[in-house]
A and B are shown apart, each in its own frame.
Chain A
């Protein structure tokens, strides 16, 4: 492959699949940054494990997107040869790890959604997406349990951990709205029974959050304003730096096999 950006024919199904693949890859990459640096060895293991699940999901989704697109793109071209404006992930997942509270709150917000999302997607009329959903749902259920337990420990732990967890919730809250919004292309896929309507998951997602936050003695923000843009390639400044690291080998040594 060359080191130039690839062109992607973003038909509604290709775009839909790439968006979910990008979520999984970027969040998996972020979590992998912890490997060797976590607060305890058990968390080095757990965060790496979750990262591996997410990178695995990304690979399946990219491969499917490549198949649907029917050109000569593949998982690595999607991952390594699209620039920041071509990435379609949620703003939430590209946010920096920050401290352990910020990483776990980000994970909690995402996993609480992903768990519901993949379970619902198991009944997609698209059999490949349904199969990926069946595998991902099992993984997300564990990711959610892990994150929820930490939110409770941090919220109801020490004053410092409570303050850090509340700070992370307040900071990341505005990035959660994007999970529930859809565009016209997605609406058509929803009508065709290929995608599910994420808005239908929001009430249950909020219940999960409220239950865990309640037990953790933490509060969910009341502000309604939500940041948008990741799904259309309008990202935060953080993503470019992540991609420059992720893609450095393929951009430096174009077209080689590793």
Chain B
């Protein structure tokens, strides 16, 4: 689904890299060339990308849980199939993102272990619960909508494997976003009860979705290097503003009210939103969101209960390889 706005660049190259190579690397970036896995790159570039791509992958996988919560309860067979296919797509995104991260030299197992140990983060948005069917529509509409805002620029990220993965991911996300919005349209055209369900979901998701873009630019510390390396092309606030401007008319079309009474439209057409409660954001990042513990527990349970299966597959593969070698020797 989506990675948090990360701002996690390691800014110092520890002085170990050759300055000439670093300059040449930057020249390639400036010329909009793609960096490929076997190319030389600064250690900090590798580290920043490994962290960003793996956090993005973890977000896709943890993001399966809140929506997966409704697969068995979807209200019609068509909705059930669409939701299952959507959650399966998120899993696919996780897989290609782990593959992209592996091209930087860390294995999927190491990356997953870091997440399960609580050392690697995933997007804060998945620490909120899906309470009603309208949450499934709202996640598609807003969470996937915010993800697309963030990921479209990543299609031009300087690192080739990540940029290419993003092109495919964005195509699917845009389909999910339309599907989510269509669920909202149906609810808003439905009974009073359904419309109330839609409004309630918007009320609960609106502010957490705005937080997905990360801290405000004024307090954001690490963007400079990511910008110079063309990993990040727009600031958190720029992306957040684009998202709000795109979303307000969509809410109006639905007849829903954005839960921000102080919101106003500028003369230049931009919708100005009220102050975001960054205390809540920090609490969720610190592990105190409504579902942090449940999400981690679910991922750990799947991992631990699946251990014997993975061991069996590895043991069988090893046996088969031995038998083939023995046969070849005969």
Which of A's residues lie within 8 Å of B, judged by CB? 25, 29, 32-33, 35-45, 48-49, 51-52, 55-56, 58-59, 62, 75-76, 79-80, 99-100, 152-154, 156-158, 160-161, 164, 245-246, 248-250, 253, 256-258
Q: Is B80 an interface residue (CB 8 A)?
A: yes
How many Å from the CB of B112 to the closest CB on chain A?
A: 9
Are A40 and B84 neighbours in the complex by a CB distance under 8 Å?
A: no
71-117 of chain B: CB within 8 A of chain A: 71-81, 84-85, 87-88, 91-92, 94-95, 98
Are A39 and B72 neighbours in the complex by a CB distance under 8 Å?
A: no
Assembly CA distance A33 to B298 (angstroms): 13
Are A249 and B75 neighbours in the complex by a CB distance under 8 Å?
A: yes
Contacting A75 at CB < 8 Å: which of B77, B88, B95, B301? B77
Residues of chain B with a CB closer than 8 A to A79's CB: 77
49-85 of chain B: CB within 8 A of chain A: 61, 64-65, 68, 71-81, 84-85
Residues of chain A with a CB closer than 8 A to B72's CB: 29, 32-33, 245-246
Main DSSP-derived SS at the A contact region:
helix
Residues of chain A with a CB closer than 8 A to B316's CB: 152-153, 156-157
How many Å from the CB of A70 to the closest CB on chain B?
A: 20
Taken residue by residue from 306 to 325, chain B's Cβ proximity to chain A (1 for < 8 Å, 0 otherwise) reads as 11111111011001000000
By beta carbon, the residue of chain B nearest A99 is B305
Contacting B311 at CB < 8 Å: which of A37, A48, A161, A258? A161
By beta carbon, the residue of chain A nearest B74 is A249
Are B94 and A41 neighbours in the complex by a CB distance under 8 Å?
A: yes
Q: Is B302 an interface residue (CB 8 A)?
A: yes
Main DSSP-derived SS at the B contact region:
helix
289-313 of chain B: CB within 8 A of chain A: 298, 301-302, 305-313
A-contacting 9-mer, from B33-41, B189-197, B272-280: B189-197
Assembly CA distance A29 to B83 (angstroms): 12
Candidate in B75, B301, B307 with the most chain A CB atoms within 10 angstroms? B75
Contacting A256 at CB < 8 Å: which of B85, B87, B191? B191
Q: Can you list 28 A-B pairs, Cβ within 8 angstroms, ordered by A?
A: A29-B72, A32-B80, A32-B84, A33-B72, A35-B88, A36-B298, A36-B302, A41-B91, A41-B94, A44-B64, A45-B88, A80-B75, A153-B316, A154-B309, A154-B312, A157-B311, A157-B315, A158-B312, A160-B311, A160-B312, A161-B312, A249-B73, A249-B133, A250-B75, A253-B191, A256-B191, A258-B76, A258-B183
Assembly CA distance A33 to B64 (angstroms): 12
Q: Is B263 an interface residue (CB 8 A)?
A: no
By beta carbon, the residue of chain A nearest B61 is A41
- B side interface size, CB within 8 A: 47
Q: Is B131 an interface residue (CB 8 A)?
A: no
Contacting B88 at CB < 8 Å: which of A49, A100, A253? A49
By beta carbon, the residue of chain A nearest B85 is A52
- Beyond A45-B92, A258-B186, whether A36 also contacts B315 by CB under 8 A is no
Are A246 and B71 neighbours in the complex by a CB distance under 8 Å?
A: no
Assembly CA distance A191 to B208 (angstroms): 62
Residues of chain B with a CB closer than 8 A to A32's CB: 71-72, 80, 84
172-216 of chain B: CB within 8 A of chain A: 183, 186-187, 190-191, 193-194
Residues of chain B with a CB closer than 8 A to A37's CB: 68, 298, 301-302
